[in-house]
Structure 1
Amino acid sequence: MVDYGIKYWSNDDFIIEDGLVKVNYQNKPALLEIVQEIREKGYKGPLLVRFPHLIHKQINQLFNAFKTAIDEYHYKGSFKAVFPLKVNQMPNFVLPLMDCVQGLSYGLEAGSKSELIVAMAYTNANAPITVNGFKDKEMISLGFIAAKMGHHITLTIEGLNELESIIQVAKELGAPYPNIGLRIRLHSTGTGVWGKSGGINAKFGLTSTELLEAIRRLEDSKLLAQFTMIHFHIGSQISDISPLKKAIREVGNIYTELRKMGAKNLTCVNIGGGLAVEYTQHEGENNRNYTLSEFSGDVVFSLKEIVRNKQEKEPDIFIESGRFVSANHAVLVAPVLELFSQEYDEKALRLKENNPPLIAEMLDLYQSVSEKNAIEYLHDSLDHMESLLTLFDLGYIDLTDRSNTEILVHLIIKKVIKLLKHKNHNDIIRIQEQVQERYLLNCSFFQSLPDYWGLGQSFPVMPLDRLNRRPTRSASLWDITCDSDGEIAFDAKKPLYLHDVDVMKEEYFLGFFLVGAYQEVLGMRHNLFTHPTEFSVVFDDDLNKGYEIENLLEAQNILDVLDDLDYDTKEIERILKQRIDDSGISDDDKKEVLGMLYVMLSENGYLRTITKDQ
C-alpha cells in the first residue's frame, strides 16, 4: 500500500482503509463515496468538498494549546484570536467558523471595507474585530460605526496619516471610539516566500521614530486611552520557531517601553499570523519544524519572561493564523480525463510485412522481455529508439515506422515497470523520470490552486482509491487550460506516482488536500473557468449514512461568467440566434442547433465529454 505521505500532512483528518481515502471522523465515510453521490446527481467536473468539523477541530486545538501553556506558566494575560478574512472570505467557510467559535474570544480581521462589513455582520457578540491594512477616512469611519454598534473593534494603524484620519473622525463622530492598535515594523524577519512581511523594509508598520510620534499625537488628541494593542507579523508559514521568538523579544521590549511612557491601556500584543501548515508528502521536506504545543509554549513563556524582567503587566495574546484554521477543511477533487500515452497499445501498431531491422528487434524485445532481462532489454529499446529517430531525420524510415518505434518503446517501458513494480531499482526510477505519464485533469490550476502557479506552493495530492495497489506511473498533471503553465510537472526530488488506468472504462479521481487557505479567494478565471461546484459534508449520527450534504453550490454557468465580466448576455444570445437564423440551414436544424446552444450556455465551462461520463 502507498500512503502518499498521509502521515505527514493529514493531521489524522484522513486515513487509508481498504484501499480508499476515508474521512477520519465518526463513521469514516470514503471520500470517493461522497464524490460519487454528488456526481450521480449530475454534478460533473471538479468538486470542492468542505468539512466544517475540521474547522472546529483546528479552533479547539489552537485554544487548548494556548490554555495549556497559560496554565503551565501561570500567565496572567488571556488568549484571543481573529481569522483574517483575506485567507478565505467564502460564506460556506466563514459562517460555520463563526458558528463553532460562539462563546470564545474569536472574531474576524478585515483588510478592506468589504471585509469589514462582513466582520460587522457576522462576528459574534463580545468577540474581537481587528482592522489591518491601509485605510482611508471612509474605512476609519466604518470602524467608528462598528464601535457604536457595540463591537470590540481595534483599528490597527499602518502609518501616521491614518492616525491623523482617526483623530479627525473622532472629533466628527465622537464616542464611543474604536480601540487603536499600532503595527510595528520590526527588525526581525521570517523565512521563506513570505519572509518579506517582516523586517525594516516591510510594507506595513511604524518605525521606532514613527511610533514615538504616534504616541505624542495620541496624547495631544486625548486618545491615548484608546491605544490598546501593538501588532506585528513576520510572515506566513513560519517554518522554524526561532525567528518568532526573536520577534517576540523585540516586540515585548517595545510593549514594556510604551507602557512606561504612559500607555497604560496598552494590554494586547497581536503576534499576527504565520503558524505553519504541514503540506509535505515526503520525509525530510517538512514545512513546519515545531509542534503546536511548542509554538504556544514559546510565545507564552517568552512574553512572560520579558514583561517580568521589566516589571510590567502580562499582555493578552492575540493571534491571527488563518492558514492554520482554514487550510485543512477543504479538498479539491478532480476527475482524470485522459492519460496521454494510452494510445500506445498493441492495437495502435501498424507493422509492415518487412519492417526496418531495428523495429523488428524492438518487437522481439517486447515479446520476450522477462523479469530476468528487463533492465537489459529496456536499455536496448531506448538505444534502438534513438537510432530509429535519427534514421527518420535522415529520411531512411517513414512516419509509420516512427509511430511503431514510439509505440513499442512505451509498451516495453510499461511491461518492464509492471515486471519490476515491487523493486526499487534505480534504473526504473530513472526511466520513470524520463518517460512520464501525463494525466489530464478536469480542473484549472489557475482557478483552484493559484499558489502552486504563482508561488510554487505544493499541495498533497493522491488518488481517492486503488491505494491497496502500487502505482507504477511517474505522473505529470495537466489542467484543461490552454496555458503551458497549467502543469504540475514530475519532480524527481518529490515524486508523484499514480496508477495506470483506462479512463475510458473506469473513473479515476485525484484529491488535492489542504486547499482551504487562500486558493479560493486568489483563484483567477483563466480561460473563464470558474469556481468548482462546492458542498459541505456535515456529520450526524442520527442519519443512515452518518452525514449529509449541505450548501451545495453549482459552478457558475457560461452566461453567468460572462455576465460577471459585464458582457451583455442578452445581446450575446440575440447575436447567436440571429447568426443561426442567417446561416441557411433548415428550420429543423436551426431548432436543434439553437437548443443545443442554449443547453451549453446553461452549463459550466468544465469538460464533460472526453470520457464516457465526465
Structure 2
Amino acid sequence: MVDYGIKFWSNDDFIIENGVIKVNYGKKPALIDIVKDVREKGFKGPLLMRFPHLIEKQVNKLFDSFHHSMQTYKYKGNFHAVFPLKVNQMPHFVLPLMNSSVGKSYGLEAGSKSELIIAMAYTNKNAPITVNGFKDKEMIKLGFIAANIGHSITLTIEGLNELETIIQVAKEMGEPHPNIGLRIRLHSTGTGIWAKSGGINSKFGLTSTELLEAISLLEKSNLLHKFTMIHFHIGSQISDISPLKKAIREVGNIYAELRKMGAKNLTAVNIGGGLAVEYTQHEGNNNRNYTLSEFSGDVVFSLKEIAKNKKEKEPDIFIESGRFISANHAVLIAPVLELFSQEYDEKALKLKEKNPPLIAEMFDLYKTISEKNAIEYLHDSLDHMESLLTLFDLGYIDLQDRSNTEVLVHLIIKKVIKLLKHKNHNDIIRIQEQVQERYLLNCSFFQSLPDYWGLGQNFPVMPLDRLNKKPTRSASLWDITCDSDGEIAFDSSKPLYLHDVDVTKEEYFLAFFLVGAYQEVLGMRHNLFTHPTEFSVIIKEKGYEIDRLLEAQTILDVLDDLDYDTKEIERILKQKIEDSLLLDEDRKKEILGQLYIMLSENGYLRTIINGEKE
C-alpha cells in the first residue's frame, strides 16, 4: 500500500482502508463515494469538500492544549483566541466555526471594515473581537459601535496616528470605549516564507520610542485604563520553536515594564498567529519541529517565569492562529482529464517497410525486453533517441521517423517500469525524474491553490482510490489554464507517483488536502475560472449528508461580476447568429440553444468518459 505520507500530514483526520482514503470519523465514509454521490447529482468539474467536524476538532485541540499547559504550570492567567478572518472569510467556514466554539472565549479578528462587520454580526456573546491592520476614522468608529452593542473588542494600534484618531473619536462618541492594544515591533523574527512579518523592519508595530510616546498620549487623554493588550507577530507558519521562545521572552519583559510604568490594566499578551501546519508528505521535509503541546507549554512557561521574576501579574494569553484552525477542514478534488503519454501506444507507431537502422534496433529492443535486460535496454533506447533526434536536426531522417522514435522510447519506458515496478531500482528513479507522466487536471491552480503558484507552498496530494496498487508513473500535474505556471512539476526530492490509468475508460481523481487556509480568499480568476462547486459533508451516526452546496458560477455570472453587461452580450451574440449567411433558420435555432446552455454552465472542461460528459 502507498500511503502518500498520510501519517505526517493528516493528523488522523483521514485514513486509508481497502485501497481508498476515508474520513476517520463516524462511519468513515470514503471520499471517492462522496465524490460519486455529488457527481451523480449533476455537479461536475473540481469540487471543494468541507468537513465542519474538523473545524470543531481543531478549536478543541487548541483550547485543550493551552488549558492543560496552564494547569501543569499553575498559570493564573486565562486563555482566549480569535480567528483572523483574512485566512478564510467564507460563510460556509465562518458560521460553522462560530457554532462549534459556543461557550469558549473564541472570537474573530478583523483587518478591514468588511471583516469587522462580519465579526460584529457573528462573534458569540462574551467572546473577544480584535482589530488589526491600518485603520481610518470610520473603521475606528465601527470599533466604538461594536463596544456600544456589547462586544468585548480591542483595537490594536499600528501607529501613533491611529492612537490620536482613537483619542479624537473617544471625545466625540463618549463611553463605552473599546479596549486598546498596542502592537510591538520586536527585534525577534520568525522563520520561513513569512518571517518578514516580524523583526525591527516589519510592516506593522511600534518601536520602543513610539511605545513610550503612546503611553504618554494615553495618560494625557485619560485613556490609559483602556490599554489592556500588547500584540506581536513574527510570521505565519513558524517552523522552528526557538524564534517564538525568544520573542516571548522579549514581549514578556516589555509587558512587565509597561505595567511598572503605570499601565495596570494591561493584562493580556497576544502572540498573534504562526502556529504551523504540517504539509509534508515526505520524511525529513518537515514544516515544523514542535508539537502543539510543546508550543503551548513554552508560551505558558515563559510568560509565567517572566511574570514571577518581574513580580507582575501573569497575563491572559491571546492567540490568532488561523491556519491551524482552518487548513485541514477543506479538500480540493480535481478530476484527471488526460495522461499525455497515452498518445504513445502501439497504434501510434507507423513503421515503414524500411526504417533507419537505429529505429529498427529500438523496435527490436521493445519486442525482446525482459526483466533481466530491462535497464540495459532502457539505456540503449535513450542513447538511440538522442542520436536519432540529432539525425533529424541534420535532415537525415523525416518527421515520421522522429515520431516513431518518440513512441518507441515511451513504450520502452512504460514496459521497463511495468517489469520492475516491484523493485526500487535507482536507474528507474532517475529515469522517472527525466520522463514524467503529465496529468491534466480539471482545475485552476491560480484559483484553488494560489499559494503553490505564488509562494511555492506544497499541499499533500494523492488519488482517492487504487491505494492498494503501487503507482508507477512519476507525475507532473498540469491545470487547464493557458499559463505555463499552472503546473506542479515533478520534484525528485519530494516525488509524486501516480497510477497509469486510461481516463477514457475509468475516472481518476486527485485530492489536495489542507487547502482551507488562505486559498479560497486569495484565489484569482485567471482565465475567468471561478471557484469550484463546494459543499459541506456532515458526518452522521449512520453515514453522511451533503449540506450547504454552492455550485460553481456560470459563465454569465462570472462576466456579470466583472461588470460586463451580460444582457448586451447575449443580445450581440444572438444578433450575430441571426445575421449569419452561413446558417439556415433551423441551424440558427440549434446553435442559439447550444450557446444559451453553455452560458448557463461553469467554465470548467467537459470531456467524454464512457460516453458521458465530465
TM-score by length of 2: 0.99
Aligned to 1:606, which of 599, 604, 607? 604
The one-letter code of the counterpart of 1:595 is: G
Q: Distance in 2 between matches of 1:524 and 1:397?
A: 46
2:588 equivalent among 565, 587, 590 = 590
Q: Secondary structure at the match of 1:482?
A: coil
Contact 1:277–1:324 (8 Å) recurs in 2: yes
Q: Residues 157 and 180 of structure 1 are in contact (CA less than 8 Å); yes or no, is this contact kept in structure 2?
A: yes
Aligned to 2:559: 562
The answer on 1:300 being equivalent to 2:300 is yes
Residue identity matched to 1:599: I
Name the counterpart of 2:196.
196
5 Å-filtered alignment, 1:363-382, equals: 363-382=363-382
* 1:103-502 equivalence runs, <5 A: 103-502=103-502
Q: Which amino acid aligns with 1:23?
A: V
C-alpha distance in structure 1 between counterparts of 2:258 and 2:269, whole Å: 12
TM-score w.r.t. structure 1 length? 0.99
Identity %, equivalent residues: 84
Counterpart position of 1:576: 573
Corresponding residue for residue 526 of structure 2: 526
CA offset digits 1:37-93 (Å, max 9, x no partner): 000111110000000000010011100000100000000001000000000000000
CA deviations on 1:278-335 (whole Å, 9 max, x unpaired) are 0000000000100100000000000000010000000000000000000000000000
Secondary structure, aligned partner of 1:341: helix
Partner Cα distance (1:574, 1:432) in 2: 52
**What amino acid sits opposite 1:562 in the alignment?**
L
- Code of the aligned partner of 2:270: N
What is the CA-CA distance between 1:494 and the residue it aligns to?
A: 0.5
* Secondary structure at 2:417 match in 1: helix
- The one-letter code of the counterpart of 2:605 is L
In 2: Cα distance, 1:575 partner to 1:437 partner: 43
SS at 1:574 equivalent: helix
Amino acid at match of 1:288: R
How far 1:355 moved relative to its partner? 1.3
Cα deviation 1:338-395 (Å, max 9, x = unaligned): 0011010011111111111111111111111000000000011111111111111111
Question: Any idea what the Cα deviations from partners look like across 1:2-27, whole Å, max 9, x if unmatched?
Answer: 11000000000001110101000010
Q: Determine the C-alpha separation between the residues in 2 that align with 1:277 and 1:394.
A: 54
Distance in 2 separating the partners of 1:208 and 1:406: 66
**Equivalent residue letter for 2:587:** D
Residue 554 of structure 2 aligns to which amino acid in structure 1?
Answer: N
- Judge conservation of contact 1:249–1:306 (CA < 8 Å) in 2: yes
Give the residue type in structure 2 aligned to 1:69.
S
CA distance in structure 1 between the aligned counterparts of 2:228 and 2:377, rounded to whole angstroms: 74
Equivalent-residue separation in structure 1 for 2:225 and 2:428 (angstroms) = 70
Residue identity in the other structure for 2:558: V
* SS across alignment from 1:230: strand
- Secondary structure of the equivalent of 1:511? strand
C-alpha distance in structure 2 between counterparts of 1:526 and 1:354, whole Å: 49
Tell me, in whole angstroms, the C-alpha distance in 2 between the residues paired with 1:3 and 1:35.
Answer: 20
Structure 2 partner of 1:80: 80
Find the residue that maps to 1:256 and give its secondary structure.
Answer: helix
Looking at structure 2, the residues matched to 397 and 539 of structure 1 have their Cα atoms a distance apart, in angstroms, of 62
User: How far apart are residue 161 of structure 1 and its match?
Assistant: 0.3
What residue identity is the alignment partner of 2:545? E
Does the CA-based 8 Å contact 1:337-1:610 persist in structure 2? no
1:609, distance to aligned residue in structure 2 (A): 2.1
- Check the 8 A contact 1:107/1:124 in 2, yes or no: yes
Task: Write the distance in 1 (CA, Å) between the matches of 2:387 and 2:193.
Answer: 45
Whichever residue aligns with residue 389 of structure 2, its letter is: L
**RMSD (CA atoms):** 0.6
Aligned equivalents of 1:307 and 1:255: distance in 2? 9
- Residues of 1 paired with 2:243 and 2:387: CA distance? 56
Are 1:229 and 1:268, in contact at CA under 8 Å, matched by a contact in 2? yes
Q: 1:553 aligns with which of 544, 550, 558?
A: 550
Code of the residue aligned with 1:602 in structure 2: it is S
Per-residue CA distance 1:530-562 (angstroms, 9 max, x = gap): 000000000111x4xx11000000000000000
SS for the counterpart of 1:342 is helix
Give 1:372's aligned amino acid: K
Unaligned runs of 5+ in 1: none
The letter for the 2-side match of 1:436 is Q
In structure 2, give the amino acid aligned to 1:598. Y
In structure 1, what is the Cα distance between the partners aligned to 2:113 and 2:389?
A: 62
Partners of 2:220 and 2:76 lie apart in 1 by: 31
Distance in 1, matches of 2:271 and 2:179, equals 17
Please give the alpha-carbon distance, in whole angstroms, between the structure 2 residues aligned to 1:409 and 1:540: 51
Establish whether residue 71 from structure 1 lines up as the match of residue 94 from structure 2: no
The letter of the residue matching 2:588 is: K
Residues matched between the structures, number? 611
Any idea what SS the aligned residue of 2:230 has?
strand
Q: Is the 8 A contact 1:558 1:603 kept in 2?
A: yes
Segments of 5+ residues of structure 2 without an aligned counterpart are none
CA contact (8 A) 1:130 1:155 kept: yes
For 1:504, what is the secondary structure of its paired residue? Answer: coil
- Per the alignment, in what secondary structure is the counterpart of residue 613 of structure 2? coil
The separation in 2 between residues aligned to 1:573 and 1:115, in whole angstroms, is 36
Q: Distance in 2 between matches of 1:160 and 1:130?
A: 18
Name 1:540's counterpart in structure 2: 540
- How far is 1:610 from its partner? 5.5
Q: Give me the whole-angstrom Cα distance separating, in 2, the residues matched to 1:94 and 1:288.
A: 26
Quick check: 333-342 or 384-393, which moved more?
384-393
- Alpha-carbon separation, structure 1, partners of 2:33 and 2:103: 35
More deviation, 359-368/269-278: 359-368
- Equivalent pair of 1:194/1:235 in contact (CA under 8 Å): yes
Aligned-partner residue type, residue 525 of structure 1 = R
Give the letter for the 1:19 counterpart: G
Residue type of the partner of 1:400? Q
How far apart, CA to CA, are the structure 2 residues paired with 1:608 and 1:369? 39
Q: How does 1:6-25 map to 2 (within 5 A)?
A: 6-25=6-25
Superposition map of 1:20-35 within 5 A: 20-35=20-35
Letter in 2 for 1:187: H
In 1, distance between residues paired with 2:121 and 2:476? Answer: 44
Q: Distance in 2 between matches of 1:201 and 1:16?
A: 46
